[in-house]
Amino acid sequence: MLSNNADFTKMKTIAFATSNDHKMEELRHILPQYKILGLKDLGIQEEIHETGSTLEENALIKAEFLFNKTGQSSFSEDTGLEVDALNGAPGVHTARYAGVSRNPEANMDLLIDNLKENSDRSAQFRTVIAYKSANEVRIFEGIVRGQIAKTKSGQGGFGYDPVFIPDGYNNTFAELDQTIKNQISHRAKAVKYLLEYLILRSD
Ligand code: ITT
């Protein structure tokens, strides 16, 4: 029987074009079958300019950047919070909704202000994964529907988690056990499709 160490050395490695430590942590829980190397692990400090006008374009920019840098199969993800009553905003502007400082507290406060007492609080997190290898480019999507809370609650997760209550639950993502988030989230769903694809290709 193989020891744990032997298993580890046989793990497949994949490069993930992110500098977001929270995403890395979630990915390591969601995809334990792979050794995932982020930009920091790869010693890449350059900022990737997300100049696209859609989540898909930005995800592709990041995956292609890392593939061109390393020559290794790479993936990235871009995530947006899409609020129905705001016609899909903040969407591609999710990270910088309240300004370039990308402050999650300010972003959530602005969102709560913009929704005011609106009774339609429905929204979704949408993650787009772009995968780039020598031969192929693939896009995968994961969506979780939910409601925007009127106030922020909870300490877990990151970004907008304190104001997002996923359908089927009474608590925000920041209040729920992170194991639950990592089972039902936008990110978990998109990664499931990526994994199915990688298994099919036996990458
Ligand atoms: P990259 O290096 O991967 O680009 P980023 O932080 O710039 O990391 P995005 O461009 O995808 O990530 O920005 C999405 C923003 O959406 C992010 O800054 C968070 O505020 C928010 N966000 C993403 N995933 C989230 C999640 O699971 N829960 C709550 N908020 C999330």
How confident is the model over 138-178, as pLDDT tens digits? 999 999 999 999 999 999 999 999 999 999 999 999 999 99
Specify whether 161 is catalytic: no
Model pTM score: 0.94
pLDDT value of residue 203: 64
pLDDT digit string (tens) for 9-42? 568 999 999 999 999 999 999 999 999 999 999 9
- The answer for residues whose C-beta is within 8 angstroms of residue 145's C-beta and 6 or more apart is 122, 123, 124, 166, 167
Check if 157 has its Cβ closer than 6 Å to any atom of ligand 1. yes
Which of the listed residues 18, 158, 175, 189 should we mutate to test ligand 1's pocket, taking the one with most ligand atoms within 8 A of CB? 158
Helix (H) or strand (E) holding 126: strand 122-132
Check if 154 has its Cβ closer than 6 Å to any atom of ligand 1. no
**Residue 157 backbone class (left: φ over 0; alpha: ψ -120 to 50; beta: rest):** left
- Domains delineated in the chain: 8-200 (3.90.950.10)
Active-site residue, selected from the candidate residues 7, 21, 41, 78: 78
User: Smallest Cα–Cα separation from 161: which of 12, 8, 22?
Assistant: 22
**Percent above pLDDT 90 for the chain:** 91
Check if 78 has its Cβ closer than 6 Å to any atom of ligand 1. yes
Distance 62 CA to ligand 1 centre (A): 13
**Residue whose token pair is 């006008």:** 53
Please check whether residue 145 is in contact with residue 124, taking contact to mean a CB–CB distance below 8 angstroms: yes
